[in-house]
Amino acid sequence: MLAKRIIPCLDIKDGQTVKGIKFEQIKVVGDPVELGKYYCENGADELVFLDITATHEKRKAWIDLVKRIARKINIPFTVGGGISNIEDAEKILNAGADKISVNSAAINNSKLISDIAKKFGSQFVVLAIDAKLENNQWKVYKNGGRIQTELELFSWAKKAEELGCGEILFTSMNHDGSKNGFALEPLKFLTESLKIPLIASGGAGTIGDFEDVFKFSNVEAAIAASVFHSKEIEIKNLKKELSRNSIPIRL
């Protein structure tokens, strides 16, 4: 069985790492370069960098910041935010990213997924899906959770897989920043429906939440932000506890 991955997420706004609750109440939590270096040295398997306002502000991701972080780490590095074409993806990869994450641009033009996959390989393409449970349906949002779309979580994830996406990063907007645990039911359904890896995001509050998501669903990785930034959970301690509970993990 493949080892599960623990991934800190750096949500970036105005060049600083920020965190909110359910995509609101955004506050600054630290310098992204120093946080990236810290996580690399303290057991993170990968690092995700999401420029959460790039699309809304109609600009590209912070290329210089991506370069500065990439120089400080030696773990896989996924970057998203403002990537709307092949040229954007190439610039991000050349800046030091190992994978690129697309969200709003892929919603607006799903062909972007297949275009990037054909150019660079499916393994470089991560589709980030922000979705909210409303009236018993998981509705997909774009522009950093600001705009509801007509897309539905499960059908959109399946279409992305068919288009050549290599991995899905699903964030439950209902759970984001709540520290009440991951959205287990939709995660389980997604892992049973897809052949590509799934990353769980939104709701981590305790070590038990990570145990639950890995045991209840077949996700290959779990993301957290606030509990790692605040050091409420140290990644090395989390991994030791997961290993003690028979969850395959890289120590």
Residues recognised as catalytic: 11, 130
Pair type for strands 16-21 and 5-13: antiparallel
Q: Which residues contact 91 (CB under 8 A, 6 or more apart)?
A: 60, 63
> Which of helix, strand or coil describes residue 150?
strand
| Partners of 137 in the β-ladder | 134
Q: Which of 83, 79, 126 is nearest to 104 (CA)?
A: 83
Rounded CA separation 174/98 (Å):
29
The three-state (H, E, C) secondary structure of 35-52, written as one string:
HHHHHHHCCCCCEEEEEC
What distance in Å separates the CA atoms of residue 83 and residue 71, rounded to the nearest whole number?
21
Q: What is d(CA 50, CA 30) in angstroms, rounded to the nearest whole number?
A: 14
Residue 101, beta-bridge partner list: 80, 126
Q: Beta strand pairing status for 24-30 and 99-102?
A: unpaired
What would the two tokens of residue 43 be? 């057991």
Contact 100, 122 (CB under 8 A): no
The residue to which tokens 């799903």 are assigned = 110
